Amino acid sequence: MKIGFALNEILALLTLLTGGLSLAWRRRRGSGRAGKPWWVGWGAELFTVVALIFTCRVALADWQRVPSASMEPTLRVGDMLLINHLAYGPRLPFTNTALPMGLPQRGDVAVFRYPLDVSTFYVKRIVAVAGDRVQFRDGIVAINGEATQVTDLGWGEHPADRGQRLLTERVAGREHAIKLNPFVLGRLPQAIGAPDCTPLRPGAWDCTVPQGKLLAMGDNRDNSADSRSWGFLDEREVYGRVDRVLFNYLEFSRFWHKPA
């Protein structure tokens, strides 16, 4: 099991440290010793604040900033995301162990620990769950043999979408926008091999998602490092579901935007 060390783990250590200092200060006052040591202001008095921040981030919700274009047009670079931990259950620091409250669903935009470096968080769309049969053709996916409804929205008008084709993809009852490069159309390397995946030609492959795993992909299908390059995602690494864009300091119109 890989152990993650990110902001939540740092907050956990700070909570333990300030809690220990707070306890020591209480004992010192109870013993009647005079004077206020320097470490009280820097440690013990911060315990309540640090503990509240840590509890909220682990149990309820927190925020992450989108650093790349891999989820465009759904998410934009600079989006500050509201992540709902109650959707799947809080993850305990250091262990990645979840208090189960739900499972990722097809179409969810999820934040998870990057499988190759669990101290880094990625955001992608959950395209398929365990047991699903996935057909990928030229950037479009179909699940369990169901026909995928695709609507061409034309050329992108947003500065980040120029020269790209925008489409809506309706898969397993969920609809969302995707972006395709007309000169690539899904012809990126597919790293998952037998027995789970079968390459058919450039830009076409079939996969069956193993138990306990998920297939995660970016909506920017031709510019995303996702399951195609690093393999299936372990369910235990899913950190939370993206429910809202809180704000984007580059685009004020995205305030409280709800991703499809």
Q: Is 258's pLDDT higher than 50?
A: yes
Residue 98 and residue 175 in one domain = yes
Tell me what pLDDT residue 53 has: 59
> 205 with 190: CB under 8 angstroms?
yes
Residue 191 and residue 226 in one domain = yes
Domains: count for the chain? 2
The answer to whether the peptide bond before residue 195 is cis (omega within 30 degrees of 0) is: yes
pLDDT digits (tens, 9 = 90+) for 191-249: 898 899 999 999 999 999 999 999 999 999 999 999 999 999 998 889 889 999 989 98
Q: Which residues pair with 151 in a beta bridge?
A: 168
Tell me what pLDDT residue 40 has: 57
In the listed set 22, 44, 59, which residue is the last one of a domain according to the structure?
59
* Location of structure tokens 């926008």: 177
Q: Is 44's pLDDT higher than 90?
A: no
Q: Which helix (H) or strand (E) holds 234?
A: strand 233-234
Q: Measuring CA to CA, which residue among 67, 76, 251 is closest to residue 179?
A: 76
Residue 86 and residue 1 in one domain = no
Q: Measuring CA to CA, which residue among 150, 178, 149, 175 is closest to residue 165?
A: 178
Residue 81 and residue 207 in one domain = yes
Range of the domain at 206: 63-260
Q: Is 103's pLDDT higher than 50?
A: yes
Which has the higher per-residue pLDDT, 144 or 42? Answer: 144
Residue 10 and residue 132 in one domain = no
Q: Measuring CA to CA, which residue among 78, 60, 58 is closest to residue 68?
A: 78
At 117, the amino acid letter reads D
CB neighbour list of residue 245: distance below 8 Å, 6 or more residues apart: 75, 79, 80, 81, 82, 254, 255, 256, 257, 258, 259
Residue 9 and residue 115 in one domain = no
CB neighbour list of residue 227: distance below 8 Å, 6 or more residues apart: 124, 127, 192, 214, 215, 216, 217, 233
Residue 112 and residue 29 in one domain = no
Output the 3-class SS for 173-190: CEEEEEEECCCCCCCCCC
Mean pLDDT for 153-180 is 94
d(CA 56, CA 52): 6
- CATH number, position 88: 2.10.109.10
Q: How confident is the model at residue 58 (pLDDT cuts 50, 70, 90)?
A: low
The Cβ of residue 111 has, within 10 Å, a number of other Cβ atoms equal to: 20
Mean pLDDT for 61-65 is 75
Residue 196 and residue 252 in one domain = yes
Which has the higher per-residue pLDDT, 109 or 34? Answer: 109
Q: Is 252's pLDDT higher than 70?
A: yes
Tell me what pLDDT residue 110 has: 96
The helix/strand count (H/E) of the chain reads as 4, 14
The pTM for the full model equals 0.81
> H helices within 157-226, ranges in order?
none
> H helices within the chain, ranges in order?
7-30, 38-42, 47-59, 227-230
In the listed set 14, 42, 59, which residue is the last one of a domain according to the structure?
59
In the listed set 24, 39, 59, which residue is the last one of a domain according to the structure?
59
Residue 118 and residue 225 in one domain = yes
Q: Is the dihedral of CA 102, 63, 156, 182 positive or negative?
A: negative
Q: Is 104's pLDDT higher than 70?
A: yes
Q: Is 47's pLDDT higher than 70?
A: no
Q: Is 11's pLDDT higher than 60?
A: no
Which has the higher per-residue pLDDT, 114 or 2? Answer: 114
Mean pLDDT for 16-36 is 70
What is the average pLDDT score of the chain?
84
Residue 69 and residue 14 in one domain = no
Residue 174 and residue 211 in one domain = yes
Tell me what pLDDT residue 126 has: 97
Mean pLDDT for 13-35 is 70
d(CA 160, CA 86): 32
Residue 83 and residue 21 in one domain = no
Residues labelled catalytic: 70, 124
d(CA 125, CA 106): 8
d(CA 205, CA 47): 53
The most confident of the ranges 1-5, 19-23, 150-154 is 150-154
Q: How confident is the model at residue 1 (pLDDT cuts 50, 70, 90)?
A: very low
Which has the higher per-residue pLDDT, 31 or 251? Answer: 251
